[in-house]
Every structure is written in structure tokens, then in C-alpha cells.
Amino acid sequence: MGDDAEARREHWIPDDRVSRCEACNAGFSLFKRKHHCRMCGHIFCDKCLSTKMELPEEMGYLKPEKVCQKCIPVIQGARRA
């Protein structure tokens, strides 16, 4: 893993601290995997983290990434500013 990728992930919540989706409370398993919101770093199931958006340039992502429902208005507000 390169330094850029590590820097983007430094604010992510560690996988071992979360056992349930933060939105729907579904338990994670071998078949229900954990996914990090690229904006806030919180952990969700795939169904609750299905929206992809372009993130602020300073975050270093080059394509649209998965974001949670709480981060969508934050990103949209940053675009308007």
C-alpha cells in the first residue's frame, strides 16, 4: 500500500471496532462485508453505502467513491461554496 493510500485511510474507523452497520444495524459476517465511507471513515454494509460521489480534490481520490448518506449533503455543500 502506498503512502497516498495510507494517508487517505488514516481517519477510517478500524474494522475491529465495529460489528454492525452504523446505518441499519445489520451484523457483519463473511457474506455481509464492511465498507468505509471515503469521506468520514465510518463503516457501513454495502446496501447502506451504495452512493458514489466525487470527493473534494484535497482528499486525493481520482474517481467517484462510496459515501454515506450523512456525507452526501456535506459534499454537495462544499461544491456550492
**What is the tens place of the pLDDT at every residue in 59-73?**
899 999 999 999 999
The rounded Cα 38 to chain-centroid distance in angstroms is: 3
Provide the 10 A C-beta neighbour count for residue 72.
Answer: 14
The pLDDT tens digits for 45-62 are: 999 999 999 998 888 999
The span from the CA of 28 to the CA of 33, in Å, is 6
The span from the CA of 11 to the CA of 40, in Å, is 7
Using DSSP, state whether 9 is helix, strand or coil. helix
This prediction's pTM: 0.85
